Structure 1
Amino acid sequence: MAARLANPPPPGASAEGGRTSERRWRALAVCLVAGFMTLLDVSIVNVALPTVRTGLHMSESGLQWVLSGYALAFGLILVPAGRLGDARSRRAVFLTGLALFTLASALAGAARSQEWLILARLFQGAAGGVLVPQVSGFIQTLFQGAERGRAFGALGATIGVSTAVGPLLGGLLIHLFGPQDGWRWVFFVNLPIGVTALPIGYRLLPAPPPPGERAGHRDFDPVGVLLLGAGTVALLLPFVQRQQWHGAARWLLLPVAVVLLAVFVGWERYYARRREPLVSMELFAVRSYGAGVLLSLVYFAGFTAIFFIFTLYLQVGLHYSALAAGLAITPFAVGSAGAAALGGRVVTRLGRRLVVGGLVLVLLGLMASALVVGFGPPASATGWATALPLLLAGTGSGLVISPNQTLTLQQVPLARAGSAGGVLQTAQRVGSAVGIAIVGSVFFAHARGRHPDWALAFQLGTTVAASLVLAALLVAVLDLAAGRRSGSLSRYPSEGGRSR
């Protein structure tokens, strides 16, 4: 049975006026800017890879590690860093992650060799993994009730926009600074943001509570950290190295991952009898949390893969420039940003029904995109022809990500906010890696050879991505039905929840 820890009122919730409340929203803005940087670097590098390859004479294997190294290090660090923020000082962990990410960006932009850039990207991914789970932890700490929904709406907009705007920003930077060294500014762009955000974050973010009020503040469950880390690497590696590691041998890591993660679950249950574990298994007894994590896993598998195949279709298949390809994806970012902000405001009233509606819109948008491409518009008109379907899909996505994050974390005790958020974000990263591998394999099966059919490859890849979104819709519908049977619509409680 889950621990019944009520979330206390957040700082600034008293009647002392709007000054403290304004300070909380400014602190959130610092968190979102820093989170935007780290998530942007997942997608912005894609359009820069051709110029990176030319500038550093990189091999295909090296290029793959530029992408997969970041994803691996990012996913590996999320949960332990979230637990560290819960146990010690969330502000100190956040600022450390931000400083390290800024330094790693400088090192990546200054790279003089393939090995240098790969190591810098590993460093950058690990720093991002330190920073990101603190953001959801701060939202849990600073906000409550309907305000928390709006704060998560802003975070959802940040996630959606960072994913979608990455190709556009990367293309623009390469266009401005030239094909030879333009890729360096994909990393250097983080420097002024990080340097500015550090002192502001120190001033605005709340200081940690006294040591006696922190859960398990001297205990970090090192065995749990090692088991989860090994299991995460074994699970992600076959997918992120799909183009570099040929043959079926890599899939042998998947049963190894299952065993390691099963041992991790058993260890956490055993460890929780005596001390605070890395991840409390009691969290998954809360229906809203378990369903939300599963929905994120499946949805991000379809959601992230679309940008991967659409960018390839435009740049390689239709010979769009990096900037033109980024502009073609912009409607998704616009729809996602606007809808996420709206979703954060109405999730308190609509609950899981809002997520169901958003997933339906994403499905309609993706299938409309595939249908439009099937009609064979001229290459120069494809970006315009897919604009409305992508706007529809982006609008739906904005109604999925932030409301689902709100509903998933609504009943998580504050003492576990960081680790719970880290698990949720790890599910998103795993889903992204698996989805890109599955959808990408279908796409490349028809986009290779002497006579590649790029339009068919995009249509089939989009159909597979839509099927993953359909699976996420099934999860949401089942959770909604379970909530109705239990007398609840999975709505966000007005005064902060208790874990059940």
Structure 2
Amino acid sequence: MTTRRWTALPVLLVAVFVTTLDFFVANLALPSIRADLRAGDASVQFVIAGYGLAYAAGLIASGRLGDLYGHRRVFRTGLALFTLASAECGLAGGAAWLVAGRIAQGVAAALLAPQVLTLLGELYRGTDRATAFRWYGTVVGLAGVSGQVIGGALVAAEHLGLGWRACFLVNVPIGVAALAMTGRVLPAPVPSPLRRAGLDVGGAGLVAAGLVAVVLPLVEGREQGWPPWAWWCLAASGPILVTFVRRQRRLVHARRTPLLDLDVFTDRTFAWGLVAVALLFGTSAGLSFVLALYLQDGLGLGPLAAGAVCTALNAGFFAASLRPGRFGAPVLLLGLCLLYEVVARAAQPYQVAMALVVVGAGMGLLMSPLLSSVLSAVRPERAGAAAGVLGTVQETGGVLGATITGTVFFGTLDGGDWRAAMLAGLSVLVAGALGVLAHAMMRPPARTPVAARACVQQDGGTC
């Protein structure tokens, strides 16, 4: 393994860290953003949902773009866009500009994510690949663990009077430094025989339109009194996605390359498991969203103190994920029920933190076995398409979880009762955890993950 290849690893991991961190770091800044920009409920929700929605909508297309135009080129484009979008967020003079910047960040993150995984696979083999992917997992976990406390610290520091803007501007020097290194440490693009087939732009547009038609009315509808356009959007989302599916089938019949290989859904374990993945990521994102608002505006904690409480959730996740087990779903449900009871009794913040440790432990015990079981039934030749679909479902589940939980939360908050709003939001999350538990009880036994089988076939060794 050459020194150059190992030099590439920090550049790739920095991209993973900042894009993962940015989903969490904004949660603790929401009350400050709301006050400074005089943002409404819908704008506050879109600060989180806009990022996740753009991320989810672009993942499938961006993986295809990497195959067509070279993974290094698409990676550099995504990193440059993410850096510029972070600057826009940090300098935003109004809520609309901030939301636009967050959407641009999400598009950039979608460009980056598939390229990182592909480049790791290209650069490393055998035991070196195992080391690289262990570092990848550690960085993702570290970003999740530290995201909210970093956000709280940046907001509380008031460095140079930046406040919440520091949460986004901190990405700019990091992005510039990483971008300067990509040309030297990442492999040059290899001409692809697929380039002549081109990108299914129509299919990419249909996927994005279908997701927007679901999320937009859920975010804006309640604040505007559920106008007719909101119901029309929701009604149109199904036909739009059906049209996308039909388009992909027509491309296959015409012997052209589709944006998405629909054969991945013929594996029932994979298709059924996607439901549980969406519920789990929706529960996690929904809890992070309402918890940050409740702790600061409801309990009166400062950003740093609220970040410290939220860290209990991520610490429980990180500790439990070191030894994932079979009882993640019951522990997750137990933790959410404990949190509901704590909030109902108007307990102290340290008691909220104790309940969050249990919630985080349930997520940590569940995450790895769930993802492994979802991918276990997929054939090696479909692993790439399955990974793209899984990533899209993760992000879409997170967006819908934050949006639906936020809609219920703000709907109850109209009466001004923060405790009642939090309890209403937790009721939605408990329902999601019950769905995850139902899946855990009915899913078939997991087999060897596809990624491991494919790696053995390619390398003759361990992935």
| TM > 0.5 | yes
Deviations 1:460-479 (A, max 9, x none): 43232122122123234333
2:237 corresponds to which of 239, 247, 257: 257
SS of match in other structure, 1:71: helix
Correspondence 1:50-199 to 2 at 5 A: 50-56=31-37, 58=39, 62-138=43-119, 158-159=139-140, 161-163=142-144, 165-177=146-158, 181-199=162-180
Distance 2:133 2:373 in 1: 10
Q: Is it true that 1:469 corresponds to 2:426 in the alignment?
A: no
Distance 1:148 1:460, change over 3 A: farther
Counterpart residue number, 2:305: 324
Give the C-alpha shift of residue 427 in structure 1: 1.3
Distance 1:93 1:285, change over 3 A: same
Equivalent residues of 1:136, 1:417 under 8 A apart:
no
Distance 1:372 1:67, change over 3 A: closer
Q: Is it true that 1:234 corresponds to 2:191 in the alignment?
A: no
Distance 2:223 2:123 in 1: 44
Q: Is it true that 1:496 corresponds to 2:460 in the alignment?
A: no
- Counterpart AA for 1:268: Q
SS of match in other structure, 1:491: coil
2:330 corresponds to which of 356, 360, 363: 360
Distance 1:443 1:61, change over 3 A: closer
Counterpart residue number, 1:221: 200
Distance 1:122 1:437 in 2: 15
Equivalent residues of 1:137, 1:418 under 8 A apart:
no
Deviations 1:479-500 (A, max 9, x none): 32xx4xxxxx32326542799x
Give the C-alpha shift of residue 330 in structure 1: 0.4
Distance 1:299 1:224 in 2: 27
Q: Is it true that 1:369 corresponds to 2:332 in the alignment?
A: no
1:308 corresponds to which of 273, 286, 289: 289
Greater Cα offset, 140-149 or 398-407 = 140-149
Q: Is it true that 1:296 corresponds to 2:277 in the alignment?
A: yes
Deviations 1:156-187 (A, max 9, x none): 55555545543322221111126952122111
- Counterpart AA for 2:428: V
Deviations 1:431-478 (A, max 9, x none): 12322233334434544425x2x4444344323212212212323433
Counterpart residue number, 2:363: 397
SS of match in other structure, 1:220: coil
Greater Cα offset, 292-301 or 317-326 = 292-301
Deviations 1:355-385 (A, max 9, x none): x4322322222222222333432xxxx2311
Equivalent residues of 2:335, 2:356 under 8 A apart:
yes
Give the C-alpha shift of residue 231 in structure 1: 1.3
Give the C-alpha shift of residue 110 in structure 1: 2.4
Equivalent residues of 2:52, 2:398 under 8 A apart:
no
Distance 1:196 1:130, change over 3 A: same
Distance 1:303 1:180 in 2: 32
Distance 1:434 1:408 in 2: 20
- Counterpart AA for 2:114: P
SS of match in other structure, 1:376: coil
Greater Cα offset, 88-97 or 66-75 = 66-75
- Counterpart AA for 2:251: Y
Distance 1:179 1:424, change over 3 A: farther
Counterpart residue number, 1:428: 394
SS of match in other structure, 2:92: coil
Equivalent residues of 2:145, 2:314 under 8 A apart:
yes
Distance 1:151 1:69 in 2: 31
Q: Is it true that 1:286 corresponds to 2:267 in the alignment?
A: yes
Equivalent residues of 1:56, 1:114 under 8 A apart:
yes
- Counterpart AA for 1:458: M
Greater Cα offset, 271-280 or 111-120 = 111-120
Distance 2:211 2:268 in 1: 24
Distance 2:94 2:309 in 1: 32
Counterpart residue number, 2:460: none
- Counterpart AA for 1:230: A
1:336 corresponds to which of 317, 325, 334: 317
Distance 1:29 1:292, change over 3 A: farther
- Counterpart AA for 1:95: R
Distance 1:49 1:234, change over 3 A: same
Distance 1:416 1:106, change over 3 A: farther
SS of match in other structure, 1:320: coil
Distance 1:309 1:54 in 2: 16
Distance 2:366 2:183 in 1: 32
Deviations 1:81-126 (A, max 9, x none): 1221233312221221011101211222123444443432332222
Distance 1:288 1:244 in 2: 39
Distance 1:145 1:439, change over 3 A: farther
Distance 1:435 1:472 in 2: 13
Equivalent pairs counted in the alignment come to 454
Structure 2 residue runs of 5 or longer lacking an equivalent are 458-463
1:458 corresponds to which of 417, 422, 439: 422
Distance 1:146 1:263 in 2: 44
Deviations 1:22-56 (A, max 9, x none): 97676555433312312322232233233334444
Give the C-alpha shift of residue 326 in structure 1: 0.9
Greater Cα offset, 187-196 or 411-420 = 411-420
Give the C-alpha shift of residue 256 in structure 1: 0.9
CA RMSD, aligned part only? 3.4
Distance 1:205 1:288 in 2: 36
Structure 1 residue runs of 5 or longer lacking an equivalent are 1-18, 344-353, 484-488
